[in-house]
Amino acid sequence: MHASGVTRVGVSRQVCAAATKNPSVRPCALPTAPSHRYQQLPPRASAAEGRPLRFISGLDSAKKWRWNVAKATSEGEVQSSSVDELSIPKGTTWELDFCSRPLVDEKGKKVWELLVCNPERTFEYARYFPNNLVNSAEVKRALLALLDLPGAERPSKVRYFRGQMQTIISRALSELDVKVVPSRRCFTIIAWLEERLEAVYRPDPRFQADAQPPYQLDLGAPQDLPDALRGEKWAFVEFPLGALLEEAKAVGAGEAFGATFSLEAAGCADLSPETLVPGVAVFSRRSQPLSAWTNSLELASITADTDRACLVLETGVSTRWRYGSYRRSKETTAESEAWEAAKAATFGLHFLAVQSDPEAEKCDGFWMLQERPPPQI
């Protein structure tokens, strides 16, 4: 039992219920195993409401995997805490961006900016750079001054999402004894950039409306998945946000591999605990080592690629993996499209869960993910 009094419900039990009671929701094979239908499990009573979990059919296609569970409280929602001094570095993980902005100085030269924050956005730092000071030495000097502030906490990891800025960022951080991680798992700073575009850059008299977005994301064809990352079966699932945040607590407590993020900082604060969040559940007899290997990647998002009839797992800045496959048909294509529509309805929020089997009571790996368009600046 959780502190909220709600029985912990494994994602996979509901996957099986959905898979057996609705023909459009069925487990599909990862590259290592043939596809087959799960055996129906007996209904499991909810301790909070005293009624069995059940699949609710007859809904629109974007919500065809809905099932009924005891409502979890929103106590687990990750929110940014308020602090008085946002300029003081906090936390062991930073998100960093250094790039030109849609601003020009009096000489017509582009203005650059260094942005730094933590995932909870309880720490923010912004500084403009003239065009003639765009180099790793100046970025390093600014970061050292930041770390010299009274009460500053030195990070152990710094994420950045612009692959073209790798050289400057890596050199600037090379002597600061931190791990530099190229990753699109920079949900907070990307949301902050979008906020600054409207609140800071557009009102600035130096703003150039016709400036070309500097961010370039070159995504090639997905690669074959390494053996260590292969599961045995997978299924599309959907889970209420409140219950999903209960799963996230296990990650925060070190009881499961995975990663979460602040919903508020990532622009998802308007979602209610009852909102159904789409995800992918993977089952494997070696779920713990599979979760450990998966956790070594910087997971960004999962996409249902109807052209290739497979799932695509996106990691790092631009790496893509052929994560799962299915037999192409009108039914499976419609199912994939509906899952993508459900993801769009939650601001791109979705998740990956790894469990040992459909009857497991807990996740060995759990990752909150978000797919969002590239920043326009």
Domain shared by 236 and 337, yes or no: yes
Domain shared by 100 and 45, yes or no: no
pLDDT of 3 > 50? The answer is no
Domain shared by 223 and 365, yes or no: yes
* Separation between Cα atoms, residue 365 and residue 377, nearest integer Å: 34
Domain shared by 31 and 105, yes or no: no
- 170, 201, 232 - which closes a domain: 201
Note the pLDDT tens digit of each residue in 232-285: 999 999 999 999 999 999 999 999 999 999 999 899 999 999 999 999 999 999
Domain shared by 307 and 233, yes or no: yes
Note the pLDDT tens digit of each residue in 207-235: 999 988 877 777 889 999 999 999 999 99
Domain count, the chain: 2
Short-list 90, 63, 77, 85, CA closest to 270: 77
Note the pLDDT tens digit of each residue in 39-85: 222 222 222 332 222 222 222 322 222 222 222 222 332 233 333 46
Domain shared by 243 and 290, yes or no: yes
Note the pLDDT tens digit of each residue in 157-178: 999 999 999 999 999 999 888 9
* Separation between Cα atoms, residue 72 and residue 249, nearest integer Å: 12
Does any domain span residue 88? no
pLDDT of 329 > 90? The answer is yes
Residue 258 belongs to what domain range? 11-71+219-370
Type and span of the H or E element at 138: helix 136-147
- Please state the pTM of the whole predicted model: 0.78
Check which CATH number belongs to the domain holding 128 and give it.
3.30.420.10
Domain shared by 106 and 64, yes or no: no
Does any domain span residue 308? yes
Domain shared by 224 and 364, yes or no: yes
Burial pattern 341-367, b for ≥16 Cβ within 10 A else e, equals ebbebbbbbbbbbbbbebebebbbbbb
